[in-house]
Amino acid sequence: MAKKKNTEQPAAKPAGGLFTYAPAPESPAAAGDIASSYGHFIGGQFVDSSGSEALKTVNPATEEVLAEFAQGTEEDVDRAVAAARKAFGDWSALPGSERAKYLFRIARIIQERGRELAVLESIDNGKPIRETRDFDIPTVAAWFFYYAGWADKLDYAGFGPNPRPLGVAGQVIPWNFPLMMLAWKVAPALATGNTVVLKPAETTPLTALRFAEICRQAGLPKGVVNIVTGDGRTGAALTAHPDVNKVAFTGSTPVGRAIARQLAGSRKKLSLELGGKAANIVFDDAPIDQAVEGIVNGIFFNQGHVCCAGSRLLVQESVQDELLDALKRRMSTLRVGDPLDKNTDIGAINSAAQLARITELTEAGEAEGADRWSPECELPGTGFWFRPTLFTGVSQAHRIAQEEIFGPVLSVLTFRTPAEAVEKANNTPYGLSAGIWTEKGSRILWTAERLKAGVVWANTFNKFDPTSPFGGYKESGYGREGGRHGLEAYLDV
């Protein structure tokens, strides 16, 4: 097919070809009451900002404004850190078994209010309800349950007897898994006896603010969790605050670098979880249909807004044609559209800015000579959308093979030998994750040993479990979240 044709608006046609689906909408009302404007959550209360600037969060599927929220000032951050400091003494002095009760209670409330949180996350972020309902929110609850279990067992975590918390943790999170990133940061911090000030991302503050209500519902002592909203300026005020003992950041590599520079020479402990450009490697003996499912999950899950997304497919040359045919067939069945429809596979791109970035990088892919392909699919008229996209004829030097696109775009490269696969997989400044598809156990081990990636999945992809540490090498950051290792980031060891 000629390149030009693929980027044109396709004719309306139901995705899937064979079947059409009746709409199966979840009710937006299930999100519960969304206030027209929000302040910060400091010392157990919702309070107004000391400044007058307000930001708006939209539903990226409709561009409708959902709520206004405060742009946190330095003074707001200062108040929140003071509240966390004040709460730290009593909280850290509680026996672990008492802290655990609060965490278990929070986990149960998250389960009880799961539908509400799933719908709220879906409308604020744009991700499909199928994912928030079946993945995000259950994972959030699982994280709290898991770290609740550690709270009274810290003596046995391998860091010596009676390991001490660090103090006040300043946590800055991104928009791609808003409540899940909150859970990954808040649960281990609280279990280990720290108090927190968390800043959610500026396009997705609503579930963090709802979480503040859950903290109240759970009777969590005032000031143990504080939520300050705002953009990068608020984030920078938090990470720079002199009374913060620990900074945890997930987001882009440039901001991660800036924070590392800002903190150099300070006594703050820092963990960074930054971007990725993961290789998903398919060997010639891989079960093709299974691999196709894994590839689709690897790059189209959450619109590809996933730091560990399998954004580079490395396929052994001898099975390239068969695999790409099957992959294109499968991509043609992906349903793009209303995130609240239970049949939707790919929801809205989180923001106009992210859509512009994806568009720019895919245009660069074409300009540099790669071949672009997308299935036909109708996109809604308003909101931010991007078709699932495949690039073949990609060379290692292309921007689409090197830069994180953070969208539903897969770059395909080929290899002939296992050694070449490893070399290409590692040819990236990142090192967060990788996938291996082969029927041979020995080949899995041989390859995994040589991949410079924090997480390596074999014959699966994007599997997350609170018991399993997650984190990167090189420009993907340092420190681990999840598992016993995740406790270390919040303890003085």
The terminus-to-terminus CA distance of the chain in angstroms comes to 59
Given the rule CB under 6 A, which of 72-80, 108-116, 120-128, 269-277 is the region that contacts ligand NAD? Answer: 269-277
- Closer CB to Mg ion, 351 or 362, in the complex: 351
Q: Which amino acid is at 16?
A: G
Q: Residue 179 or 390: which CB sits closer to Mg ion?
A: 179
- The interface region with ligand NAD, picked from 74-82, 229-237, 284-292, 416-424 by CB under 6 A, is 229-237
Closest CA to 347 of 198, 204, 208, 199: 204
Is 251 one of the binding residues for ligand NAD (CB under 6 A)? Answer: yes
Nearest distance from C-beta of residue 211 to Mg ion, angstroms: 15
DSSP code at position 381: S
Q: Which of 203, 374, 414, 447 binds Mg ion (CB under 5 A)?
A: 203
The residue of the chain with the least Cβ separation from ligand NAD equals 235
Among 26, 345, 404, 475, binds ligand NAD (CB under 6 A): 404
Query: Does residue 307 bind ligand NAD (CB under 6 A)?
Result: yes
Supply the residues annotated as catalytic.
273, 307
- Per the DSSP assignment, residues forming a β-bridge with 383 are none
Nearest CB to ligand NAD, comparing residues 194 and 239: 239
Q: Binders of Mg ion: how many residues, by CB under 5 A?
A: 3
Here the tokens at position 98 are: 């008492």
Binding mask 164-183 for ligand NAD (x = CB under 6 A): --------xxxxx-------
Tokens coding 392:
């073949």
Beta carbons within 8 Å of 350's beta carbon, 6+ residues apart: 60, 125, 126, 175, 176, 203, 204, 303, 305, 384
Q: How far is the CB of 431 from Mg ion (least distance, A)?
A: 30
Q: Hey, which residues does 41 pair with through a beta bridge?
A: 46, 227
Q: Which stretch binds ligand NAD (CB under 6 A): 12-20, 95-103, 152-160, 233-241?
A: 233-241
Give me the least distance between CB of 205 and ligand NAD, in Å please. 9
Query: What does 118 interact with, of Mg ion, ligand NAD, none (CB < 5 to 8 A by kind)?
Result: none
Q: State the Cα torsion 405-411-414-419 to the nearest 10°.
A: 20
93 Cβ partners below 8 Å, 6+ apart? Answer: none
Sign of the dihedral through C-alpha 422, 425, 430, 432 = negative
CA 221/CA 78 separation, integer angstroms: 19
Task: Count interface residues toward ligand NAD (CB under 6 A).
Answer: 27
Map residues 181-220 to x or -, x wherever contact with ligand NAD holds by CB under 6 A: ------------------x-xx------------------
Residue 65, SS3 per DSSP: strand
Q: 278-299: b or e for each residue (b if 16 or more CB lie within 10 Å)?
A: bbbbbbbebebeebbbbbbbbb
Interaction with Mg ion in 53-112: which residues (CB under 5 A)?
57
Contact between 412 and 392 under an 8 Å Cβ cutoff? The reply is: yes
By CB under 6 A, tell whether 239 contacts ligand NAD. yes
Element (H, E) at 135: none
Q: What is the Cα–Cα distance from 368 to 391, expressed in whole angstroms?
A: 11
Contact in structure between 144 and 185 (CB atoms under 8 Å): no
Amino acid occupying residue 320: Q
Among 335, 357, 484, 485, binds ligand NAD (CB under 6 A): 357
Partner touching 124 among Mg ion, ligand NAD, none, CB below 5 to 8 Å by kind: Mg ion
Decide if residue 202 touches Mg ion (CB under 5 A): no
Contact between 166 and 213 (Cβ < 8 Å): no
3-class SS of residue 32: coil
Identify what 255 binds: ligand NAD, Mg ion, none; CB under 5 to 8 Å per kind.
Answer: ligand NAD
Copy the structure tokens of residue 292: 């196709």
236 touching ligand NAD, by CB under 6 A: yes
Interface with Mg ion by CB under 5 A: which residues? Answer: 57, 124, 203
Interface with ligand NAD by CB under 6 A: which residues? Answer: 172-176, 199, 201-202, 231-232, 235-236, 239, 250-252, 255, 258-259, 273-275, 307, 354, 357, 404, 406
